[in-house]
Structure 1
């Protein structure tokens, strides 16, 4: 098998191109890593730290897309979970109390599971199209988050809670270890058990999987539950990193970045085979691209345009059909005489 046909080749090549660009453009600012107080600091560390919420959301989105669905509500779930956790902590007398923080985390994860179950039931039981079912929660969820925060930014002063997003373990941000744990769990469940095969089967051919005895309804509910859980953990990291919850802006447009990360990673939007490692690389590409755009001084008003253009180019390069079309047109222009001879023969 040719190496360029491997599903990770183009995502890795894109990430390498971004890193190579920064090596020539700003090697000192981008690649310098310092140790202060036993913790590692630097742009590369920031990419891993700030990209952790997106990676988590994208991992959950991967399994949903593998079933042929989509979850547009993850951004709202991010906002709701962060708002619920911060609201609970803000009501406590000792905001750093471990019991209070654990209660806040439990409530945030619990409400996310309920929201994931809601999406799963709408899709699998009632039969609403995934894009519509999750669009309902995308719109309503943002309002729920603002109701929880009363339209204000809730600020907390909890060292225990802040450790989730800004703490360090073994010199690295603690959020990286959270992502690693979720990735390993998702990988074990989908590659070491039959669950991954069930997910791909439901996404590729729902009718055939049903006739084969796969309970697709439970598979769909499970992936939406997991996606909601991943979004909730991302919301905890985001809110704890800034010690506040903003129901209006937290997790805004995260669903779009997550979908892009999944597509860049090689998973098809039509469902079927999925690639968790490709998704992680896709999320790192998006975070690295965002960091690079800011570092080179692109005006904020056109940042999204530049980001969208680069992502479009990456997706086109990954498209085998697009590459074949380019090669065919190049050959047509390069050897027009030979084509005429073949045509007449």
Structure 2
């Protein structure tokens, strides 16, 4: 039994899952109907559904962030890209004669995503070609990006009246929130591409040793362009969901600090900031932990202003439990337990 527990504890997903279950338990005690899911007008409602819907934008960004961090990089500009994508989409809708036309909404989204992809290419150029440190390269766009969004919106909050656009953020498809469906599709595509092809292995090799991977024939420069562009794509999708949910483009607040939540989700999920091995499943669990923590703060009546403190506490605890010292301690415990079991069997 002890050996089994030690083996489970050695898995990098063990402690994040334990933390998630602990948060579920706290919510269940504070709100007995926490796990209840109801169906109204063919749509699913409940606390768990709210966690999935509200956490979808952050999860989408965290997926892109995972691949960037796996290459030993970081992207601090995703929040600004969210604001730019939302500003562009709303500007096009407001400038059209029929913002409720699905074709107009599709054009607005396509242009917003296209501009965001160019921003991702810009980040990739700074990192891969000019050799600027990722934290500095993306800090440039993080700082200037919201200014660009403010220029697009002319310093105003652009409110749009477009049911098809609003549905992206608050609508349902087959009873499931559309935002959750989009997040699931992005996760599935990223997992299939990186784990069913050699792309994931090449990303890990670049993160572990860029020079060795280059000598092995991996085109690190092109790979860096790809991951930063994909991360910008994820930020654009998340920004459109956030903007559609509010039916307004707010350059100052859309995606504010979402880059920090995404990084926290990646770290909680067990991906190392030093690059190399990564886990999209771990990122999914990490995103659920972050969003469930936010829900817990509201459920138990803690002032929302203290949310960041609790996030820091959770990340600290999980990182300590995932540290090499803790892992070595559990490995030692597992070996001791196995020796004791073997001794008892020999004695018997």
TM-score (norm 1): 0.92
C-alpha displacement at 1:323, in angstroms? 5.8
Correspondence for 2:22: 17
Q: How is 1:157-172 mapped onto 2 (pairs within 5 angstroms)?
A: 157-172=161-176
How many residues in Structure 1 have an aligned counterpart in Structure 2?
A: 327
Task: Say if 2:207 is the partner of 1:207.
Answer: no
Of residues 46, 68, 72, the one that matches 1:42 is 46
Greater Cα offset, 192-201 or 308-317: 308-317
Correspondence for 1:3: 8
Structure 2 CA distance for partners of 1:323 and 1:192, relative to 1, 3 Å: closer
Of residues 130, 145, 148, the one that matches 1:144 is 148
Correspondence for 1:95: 99
Q: How is 1:296-311 mapped onto 2 (pairs within 5 angstroms)?
A: 296-311=300-315
C-alpha displacement at 1:7, in angstroms? 2.3
- The DSSP-based 3-state class of the residue aligned with 1:35 is strand
Q: Whole-Å Cα distance in 2 between the matches of residues 48 and 203 of structure 1?
A: 30
Correspondence for 2:195: 191
Correspondence for 2:346: none
Q: Whole-Å Cα distance in 1 between the matches of residues 296 and 247 of structure 2?
A: 26
Q: Whole-Å Cα distance in 2 between the matches of residues 118 and 323 of structure 1?
A: 39
Correspondence for 1:341: none
Of residues 213, 227, 236, the one that matches 1:232 is 236
C-alpha displacement at 1:318, in angstroms? 2.1
Greater Cα offset, 18-27 or 289-298: 18-27
TM-score (norm 2): 0.91
C-alpha displacement at 1:163, in angstroms? 1.1
C-alpha displacement at 1:302, in angstroms? 2.5
Q: How is 1:67-82 mapped onto 2 (pairs within 5 angstroms)?
A: 67-82=71-86
Q: Whole-Å Cα distance in 2 between the matches of residues 99 and 245 of structure 1?
A: 20
Of residues 44, 59, 62, the one that matches 1:58 is 62
Q: Whole-Å Cα distance in 1 between the matches of residues 45 and 101 of structure 2?
A: 28
Deviations 1:304-341 (A, max 9, x none): 2223222222222222324657999xxxxxxxxxxxxx
Q: Whole-Å Cα distance in 2 between the matches of residues 301 and 197 of structure 1?
A: 41
Deviations 1:12-42 (A, max 9, x none): 11111111121222122x2232211111111
Q: Whole-Å Cα distance in 2 between the matches of residues 55 and 302 of structure 1?
A: 22
- The DSSP-based 3-state class of the residue aligned with 2:44 is strand
Q: Which runs of 5+ in 1 are unaligned?
A: 329-345
**Moved beyond 4 Å, runs of 4+:** 322-328
Task: Say if 2:253 is the partner of 1:257.
Answer: no
Cα RMSD (Å): 1.5
Q: Which runs of 5+ in 2 are unaligned?
A: 333-348
Q: Whole-Å Cα distance in 2 between the matches of residues 43 and 192 of structure 1?
A: 34
Structure 2 CA distance for partners of 1:298 and 1:326, relative to 1, 3 Å: farther
Correspondence for 2:245: 241
Q: Whole-Å Cα distance in 2 between the matches of residues 27 and 320 of structure 1?
A: 38
